[in-house]
Structure 1
Amino acid sequence: MNKLKMRSVFIGSKNEFDEMIVDWLAERTEIAGVVWSDSATWRKTWKGRFDYGMKRAKKYGYFKLLNELMLFFYVKKKVAVTDLGFLKREIIRPYWKNNGRKFSDLKFPEISSENVNKKEVLDFLGEVKPDIIFAMCVNDFFGKKIRAIPKYGVFLWHEGLTPEYRGLYSPFWTMYNGQFDKLAYSFLRMNDKVDAGEVYVQGFAKGIDLNKHNYSFIGHKAIYDSLGEVGIFLQQLEEGTHKTLPERSATPNYYTYPGLTQYVSMRKKLKKYLTNNK
């Protein structure tokens, strides 16, 4: 394939899936740099966890906080390892095997920060001068300063349909609402709202087995399934022939962390759905 002339920066979490996305971008664009975001630094100390929990309790109430904590520990013990196993076996390892290389083969400037809007990040971006920024797995809101740096803008991979599934854990809430046929991805240019902007690529996850795949795997699979269309869009963007998708008439919604009671409810709906669709 012909590599595009655009200089790109990726902003995301330091994990194996995001590393795979960086490699995918490096095949198609000139990687100017990577910003590893660690916006959940509150998890690193007990004081940080306590302070963050108190903020959520004041905003949402102590019952919701307890509900979220119960799901967090349940998922960590019962679900996360299984989902990560599927992710590695079905997506990450086959990707690297098919491409005949590993992430450590890539060389690029990089920086780590707990907030993408910090001066250190803005200075880094000013030095590497990207034409386009890609973001994924980042909890921070991208302010006007960072969005103004690249000429093409900041683009977000979102693991759900927008505008109805903005916010956190979109695959979970899609399943919770019983919309098992709406597990999707959106690729959009960020504006001054969270998970909102002009949508250029949107579609549904493929090859999902709801008998074994949980919401975490589904979200990553949806992003992976978007890559072919995103690659075409990037070519059109550089050529100046790109177009936004028509606005959808769906009601905008924004979701936050789910709790254990919502998880139990979602699993009941899923069981009924699978029984009715044997």
Structure 2
Amino acid sequence: MRTVLMCHAEDAFDREGLAAWLASFSDLAGLVVIEETGTQKQARVRRELQRVGPLRFLDVLAMRFYYRFRLAAADHAWMEASLAGLRARFGEVPAVPELRVSSANAPEVAEFLTGCKPDVMIARSKQLLSKRIFRIPKQGCLVMHPGICPEYRNAHGCFWALAERDLDKVGLTLLRIDTGVDTGPVHGYFTYAFDEANESHIRIQYRMVLENLDALAQRIRDIAAGTAKPLDVTGRPSGVWGQPWLSRYLRWKRAALDKQPVAAAE
């Protein structure tokens, strides 16, 4: 099975950890590394502002500041430890062809993928892929989406399921990319015994991948072999979500703490 990983340059979990994991059970044929420009990041900010409006966007910004100053340091330490564990288990990323681009849909991406001849591409990208790109791998491009689809599509599905107290829908969806936003055929749901009172939403969404690597690897093999059948999601509600809000984060954490059992008095 020949594979390609598409990921962002700043995400070491993907670029180092998942690349080594992918190479452990497949022929990793190449890496597409996205180095976004400031203009692209500003455009994403403008889209979120248009989507939620100026008042709610302040809630989004407040969550960003809160995360940066209250949560990021602990998550960074956890990520470093997790990467060390992945290196110990899978080794270093092998030397493979690498393409660095600012756009996942650049013409050179299509040329690179055609040369790599992948059966499957794992897309860990914030950018939507065009049909011209996602149709190149023989068995398609797969997304490990942090959220249960179709109920929690688009961004931060784990966060919103937690904030909505929809705890049975906190998980990861393995799906094949199509022309919509997380609307492609679903090939599996994965979760773990998350600790919502003590883990951040960012840590939970990364652990959804980390705790299910063996199961994900087997499902990807099945997809590449053409033996995996998509799940039927007919009739289920579909929701498109966005960036986390501080107001909903604080409400979620209060609910999670209230749910914890009280220790018996000695």
TM-score, structure 2 normalization: 0.88
Shift of 1:248: 6.0
Report the counterpart of residue 27 of structure 1 in structure 2.
24
Report the counterpart of residue 38 of structure 2 in structure 1.
42
Q: Does 1:114 align with 2:102?
A: yes
Shift of 1:164: 0.5
Report the counterpart of residue 4 of structure 2 in structure 1.
9
The match for 2:136 among 149, 160, 163 is: 149
1:23–1:168 Cα change, 3 Å: same
The match for 1:175 among 156, 162, 182 is: 162
- Aligned letter for 1:111? L
The match for 1:66 among 38, 41, 58 is: 58
Shift of 1:225: 2.5
TM-score, structure 1 normalization: 0.85
Aligned partners of 2:176 and 2:184 also within 8 Å: yes
Shift of 1:43: 7.5
1:54–1:223 Cα change, 3 Å: closer
Report the counterpart of residue 240 of structure 1 in structure 2.
226
Query: Which stretch shows the higher mean deviation, 233-242 or 20-29?
Result: 233-242
Number of residue pairs matched by the alignment: 262
Secondary structure of the 1:10 match is strand
**Per-residue Cα deviation, 1:73-129 (whole angstroms, up to 9, x for no partner):** 11111112212222333x322222234x334xx101111222211112112212222
Query: Which stretch shows the higher mean deviation, 232-241 or 150-159?
Result: 232-241
Aligned partners of 1:8 and 1:131 also within 8 Å: yes
Report the counterpart of residue 92 of structure 1 in structure 2.
83
Report the counterpart of residue 206 of structure 2 in structure 1.
220
- Percentage identity across paired residues of the two chains: 24
The match for 1:76 among 52, 55, 68 is: 68
Supply the distance in 1 between the matched residues of 2:65 and 2:52 (Cα, whole angstroms): 19
Aligned partners of 2:197 and 2:253 also within 8 Å: no
Supply the distance in 1 between the matched residues of 2:97 and 2:51 (Cα, whole angstroms): 39
In structure 2, runs of 5+ residues without a counterpart are none
Query: Which stretch shows the higher mean deviation, 68-77 or 177-186?
Result: 177-186
Shift of 1:238: 4.2
CA RMSD of aligned residues (A): 2.4
Supply the distance in 2 between the matched residues of 1:23 and 1:249 (Cα, whole angstroms): 38
In structure 1, runs of 5+ residues without a counterpart are 1-5
- Aligned letter for 1:140? Q
Supply the distance in 1 between the matched residues of 2:259 and 2:223 (Cα, whole angstroms): 40
Aligned partners of 1:8 and 1:134 also within 8 Å: yes
Supply the distance in 1 between the matched residues of 2:44 and 2:27 (Cα, whole angstroms): 38
| 1:116-131 superposed matches below 5 A | 116-131=104-119
Supply the distance in 1 between the matched residues of 2:28 and 2:56 (Cα, whole angstroms): 42
